[in-house]
Amino acid sequence: METFREEDLRKIRLFQSVDFDAIKGILDACTIRSLGAGEVLIAAGQGNRTVYFLLEGHVRVHLSSIRNQPTAILGPGESVGEMSVIDHKPASAFVVAAEPVRLLAMEEEILWSLIHSSHAAASNLLIALSTRLRNTDTVIFDNSDSGETDQDDRHYGTVDALTGLHNRHWLEIILDRQVQRAALSRRPLSLIMIDIDYFKTFNNRYGHAYGDHVLYSVAHTLSDYLRPTDVIARYGGDEFVVALPEMGFETAMDAGGRLHRAVMNAVPVTPDGSAIPHPTISIGLATLKEGQTGADLIAEADQALNRAKNNGPNSISA
């Protein structure tokens, strides 16, 4: 998989003055795309849910038809696709590679998560859009009247910027669906809540930059030891929640133990290559009971987590 360097991102206007360490998860969720000369990136009249940031090469912007003269030529640091991502209407211009290009592709939900996570990125996006609206020769207008959009999806980021996991807002929506599915199928559903022990003390001792690396490490370690059907989210602060569909109590306890061992064996490493002392974790487990809602299941797992911490942290409780 092709990667990008921080110096590549520094050329992009959206990322100017943005703390890259604070958005590692978002950057991990982006992809690199390469196009040959003449390839179409965005087609007029079609939907687009991705913002593209030019790393190398140039693209041409054609209104109405590719046969028309380009109304703009954009190069490294510039972006395309924001307007259709923001208003959910079909693109009104063609964007075509003028030469071989490399682009950073950021899906819609990733963009909104970045905007919610970074004041600098939000300011940069506002400035970029304002500049385009003032320059009517290069703005990509969208005059179509498509249907109404889902305001919840547009106004809330669903990805945690630091870890790359989904966030609490997304979890609460998905968990309600999981509960309904479990009730209809009469299949079990278990929930694990994970908390890093004494994380505030750890942050105060080693610094927030080290704390961020630990959160990132825990998130990716947990993800590596889950099934494709499992659901994981950063619930907030130093808490993570894992939903285990079709998994009853005993099997879920085994899964909790496996996750606990995996995290304890992980060794977070800083960019300079130094290893970070790893705090312990506590785990609370709950299995769905008849009539419970997603909120009920979370509350029960939270109570179990409190018991684990009260029994002496670095343990699992139900």
Task: For residue range 260-298, list pLDDT tens digits in order.
Answer: 999 999 887 776 777 777 889 999 999 999 999 999 999
Question: What is the rounded (10 degree) CA torsion for 195, 197, 203, 206?
Answer: -130
pLDDT at residue 134 in the model: 55
Q: What are the residue ranges spanned by the domains of the chain? A: 6-155, 168-317
Distance, in Å, from the CA atom of 89 to the CA atom of 175, rounded to the nearest integer, reads 30
Alpha-carbon Rg of the chain, whole angstroms?
Answer: 23
Catalytic residues: 238
Enumerate residue ranges in the chain where pLDDT < 50.
Answer: 136-155
pLDDT at residue 131 in the model: 67
pLDDT at residue 121 in the model: 86
Q: Which residue in the block uniquely carries the two structure tokens 């879920």? A: 252
Burial 179-198 (b: 16+ CB within 10 A, else e): beebeeeeebbbbbbbbbbe
pLDDT at residue 234 in the model: 94
Q: Tell me the fold of 168-317.
A: Alpha-Beta Plaits (3.30.70)
Q: Tell me the fold of 6-155.
A: Jelly Rolls (2.60.120)
pTM above 0.85, yes or no: no
